[in-house]
A and B are shown apart, each in its own frame.
Chain A
């Protein structure tokens, strides 16, 4: 087993029961501590790729490996508890307080109440929210940006080695999004988690990615460091590169 490989896709295809192919022959790997950004338009297959990793869906062909073991061999519940998950609509549980939301996976894992509480408060501080002010609030009492921060804190709660983020900042206003992206980048460097990050925002991809996988019509058409995207002659890559209007790169992480 190659200990450097956290996630591997070997010739993975996924089709719906009606035969429509959402992913075709996908091969890629994500290294430990690396942030791979899957960039693509809506409906290109990014989210499908992500759901194959935590086995919300099973591949119709090929295999997905997590820590060298096929997802089909993993107990899906064990697998998912090792993988933090932040989805676009955040998916905070409206009937639970912020603290309880963050504590969901630790509670499922049978942690003690005090430890869950401490962990939740520490994570709130990590994502830049004052625990005294926010711990007892309910999701409905938070702004969009605050909710996203809680979503990230929740994904980190049980200290999973892998985190999946599906357009986590997509619904935020541009200013909040920029702040939270900057903070996220710092967090990323501190935590050194393996991350798969789905977005259609090319700036976000350039800011946060170690490597970018460009997805179109269910295929990876480009896979490499951010500079590859900017220098590619592929029309889809050009189209995305053209979105960075000021021509100034936000720079890739060290």
Chain B
């Protein structure tokens, strides 16, 4: 399917995502202007502050967006009963975008005002202008072109960064990009990236034009003050409206189900959601696609009520516990630690173990007779390996893996997990660490090598729920219990393949599955 075909067929969704994207950008740029311009002005009045403030803004720009999201989600800050900080969704995305957009706006306001000809400033002072009059009648109008240039840079940054907002369920065109990466689908990636690039380009052109007009000087001769106040007012209204819309968050009579940002997680999230919908008349909100460990943080923060976690991940990545190869032992430890530490309850395991799968191309496995990871280790000196960021950094990942099996790769590449499959298929790497339930494994004909030394801990998929939610809706406990042991690895792999390989809708795939299991009619 070509990109144009896709965009036409899904035009309603494309428009919706584009509007979400524009809204994110407009609100965050607006808030950044409301904060950045006055701050820039303050710096021209108190030059001592300029170093720390600009330094802070500089540092904010270098913080990776996922890390920033991670810091922001657990924060709980209310102003007049409106939550202004923390949680998942657009609110946190906007706060992060504002932090990114601040630097160019502060810096350009500061340099724009300082760049006003001292003779002109002195003429103004000599004519008896107060500091305020000098600022609004002379300095700001003359600095406006430079300030606008800063706004332009900030806007373009926001358009680009807003694609990452999809990682915390804030919507926007990033959804297509993440979905495309996950499903290895170039058309989907482009369906997100091309409109985003067009928005950036359009914003750049429009603001560049405004900047030129103002530099020429005609636009402000009639009541600069009026224009300034009018635009400040418009921005303010937009910003406040945006915050109120997004601050409403999860309403009390709903259950919010979350998921991490890969296909299996979305299927499992949908599974929980449909099971709840089938057995109760509660409204279930889906807050899927949360990147990194954001789902856990959102659960602890009460932004979501449940999601499916893997026992090994919880033990090692979240609890930082001692590794163990015994599934029962891992499950018991995680269950009690979560209850004590986070007031979260581990339900019945869903029945499959999604462990790391060390994968090679089928042709290589046949040609070289590879069965176990140890077989591959002997040949690794001529091999290139590709691993996701997750595998490279986690405790049960790369370092222990190469040590246990004695791997010495010719080259190790770190890339996005979803890209490793393609890299293996296209002979750019020779060995990757995928997920054992991944539908793409059969699509590409990869072979999973046996973990003959028992290095990887068990990763049993288990729904995790807030205790407070279970107390409030006791029926949930029975519903989730009935999901125990519902899935085998093969079944999970099939569901994954139905979505990733056959491009079917998650909703339909899950519904069919639950029907087949007799969960609903």
State the A residues within 8 Å of B (CB). Answer: 54, 56, 76-81, 83, 85, 87-97, 100, 104-105, 108, 138, 140, 154, 164
Contact = CB atoms under 8 A, between A and B. Distances in A.
| A83, A85, A154, A164 pick with most chain B CB within 10 angstroms | A85
Contacts of B220: 95
Interface in B121-177: 122-130, 133, 137-138, 141-142
B427 interface: no
A78 B120 contact: no
Contacts of B126: 54, 56, 80, 83, 85, 87, 91, 164
Contact of B133 (A85, A87, A108, A164): A108
Contacts of B129: 77, 104, 108
A107 B335 CA distance: 74
B131 to A, nearest CB: 10
A56 B128 CA distance: 10
B443 to A, nearest CB: 64
B472 interface: no
B211 to A, nearest CB: 14
Given A87-B119, A91-B120, A81 B128 contact: yes
B221 A108 contact: no
A88 B123 CA distance: 10
Given A95-B141, A108-B133, A81 B221 contact: no
Contact of A138 (B117, B123, B137, B217): B217
A97 B128 CA distance: 19
Nearest to A79: B128
Contacts of A95: 141-142, 217, 220-221, 224
20 contacts: A54-B126, A56-B125, A77-B129, A78-B128, A81-B128, A85-B123, A87-B119, A87-B122, A90-B123, A91-B122, A91-B123, A92-B123, A93-B120, A93-B124, A100-B221, A104-B127, A104-B129, A108-B127, A138-B217, A138-B221
Interface in B96-138: 117, 119-120, 122-130, 133, 137-138
Contacts of B133: 108
Contacts of A154: 127
Among A56, A76, A79, A96, the most chain B Cβ lie within 10 Å of the Cβ of A96
Contact of B128 (A93, A94, A108, A140): A108
Nearest to B221: A97
Interface of B: 117, 119-120, 122-130, 133, 137-138, 141-142, 217, 220-221, 224
A77 B130 contact: yes
Contact of A80 (B128, B138, B221): B128
Question: Which 5 pairs, one residue from A and one from B, show the smallest C-beta to C-beta distance?
Answer: A91-B123, A80-B128, A81-B128, A85-B126, A89-B119
A84 to B, nearest CB: 8
Contacts of A105: 127-128
Contact of B138 (A56, A89, A93): A93
Max chain B C-beta neighbours (<10 A), residue from A85, A95, A154: A95
Contacts of B128: 76-81, 83, 105, 108
Contacts of A77: 128-130
A68 B348 CA distance: 93
Nearest to B130: A77
B338 to A, nearest CB: 63
A88 to B, nearest CB: 8
Nearest to A109: B128
A87 B221 contact: no
A22 to B, nearest CB: 16
A68 to B, nearest CB: 20
A165 to B, nearest CB: 11
Given A56-B122, A95-B142, A85 B221 contact: no
A164 B133 CA distance: 21
Contacts of B119: 87-91
Nearest to B133: A108
A169 to B, nearest CB: 16
A29 B420 CA distance: 87
A97 B224 CA distance: 13
B476 to A, nearest CB: 65
Contacts of A93: 120, 123-124, 137-138, 142
Contacts of A108: 127-129, 133
A36 B25 CA distance: 61
A79 B356 CA distance: 80
Contact of A94 (B120, B130, B224): B120
Given A95-B142, A95-B224, A80 B120 contact: no
A252 B117 CA distance: 36
Contacts of A76: 128
A153 to B, nearest CB: 13
B506 to A, nearest CB: 57
A167 to B, nearest CB: 12
Contacts of A164: 126
A80 B125 CA distance: 8
B499 to A, nearest CB: 59
Contact of B123 (A78, A79, A87, A140): A87
Contacts of A83: 126, 128
